[in-house]
Amino acid sequence: MNITSKDYYESLRKGLTEFQWNKEFKCPFCWSKSYGNLEDVLDHAKIIVNDKREKPIEISKHRAVLKCIQNLDLQDKISGIPRDDDSIVWPWTVILSNIRVGLTDKDIEQRLQLDGVRPSKVVTVWNRGRQTEFAIVVLGKERNDHDTALKLERSFKEEYHGKKDYDSVKHRGHEFFGWMARVDDYEDHQLGNYLQDHTTLISNKEAEMNKDSNSRYNIDI
């Protein structure tokens, strides 16, 4: 039997699987992993769907997940799922933390390139003449830049090197932590100076509408 994305979608709509388990959120087809909110499940599904190396059956399953989460009627029926109204920094940007003092913009860019990431610009953050442990990685304005930012954020989370981990762990070792830049970074007293001069904030809805176009904003990066 050839099961299609539509079949998986119908099974989700009929309530045969759920996105929430206790206080955690899960992808119904990757039950071993837990996520902090529904948006994280959505990001996970987008990565699978856009990864050409994935098996067709996995892409079909996760297309169904995307469709279900994006369906507002279904979203309203899932009790306890918070609506995400956080704004996102645009052009698509990732914050790196736990940067060793002395690393230059070029050092960080070369390290990212070894992982297949080619940023538009890397800027180490300075405060009162001293280098901080943060760097701003501007990826760009295109859809693939958005997808790269999500993949980076997901990879950091899966290695327990995301933003929540950075905020909660006392002994961080020598590895980078990272996350996609959002409104709290934009308003941060260290990161905000650069972000407010060179980027803007857009809503999640605007992000979806403008992933393929840079026509709305005139920003020098």
- CA-closest candidate to residue 200, choices 54, 88, 101: 88
- Answer yes or no: do 203 and 96 share one domain: yes
- Answer yes or no: do 65 and 94 share one domain: no
141-171 pLDDT, tens digit per residue, is 888 898 899 999 999 999 999 998 888 887 8
220 located within any domain: no
- Answer yes or no: do 101 and 206 share one domain: yes
52 located within any domain: yes
> Which residues form the domain of 51?
5-77
- The count of domains in the chain is 2
152 located within any domain: yes
- Answer yes or no: do 178 and 120 share one domain: yes
117-136 pLDDT, tens digit per residue, is 999 999 999 987 889 999 99
Out of 77, 112, 128, pick the residue that ends a domain: 77
Which residue blocks in the chain are alpha helix, DSSP H? 5-13, 38-50, 56-70, 72-77, 105-114, 143-158, 163-168, 183-186, 192-198, 204-210
pTM over 0.85: no
Out of 15, 46, 77, pick the residue that ends a domain: 77
- Answer yes or no: do 95 and 70 share one domain: no
* Under 8 Å between Cβ of 122 and 108: yes
User: How many beta carbons lie within 10 A of that of residue 141, not counting itself?
Assistant: 20
- Answer yes or no: do 97 and 137 share one domain: yes
- Answer yes or no: do 12 and 56 share one domain: yes
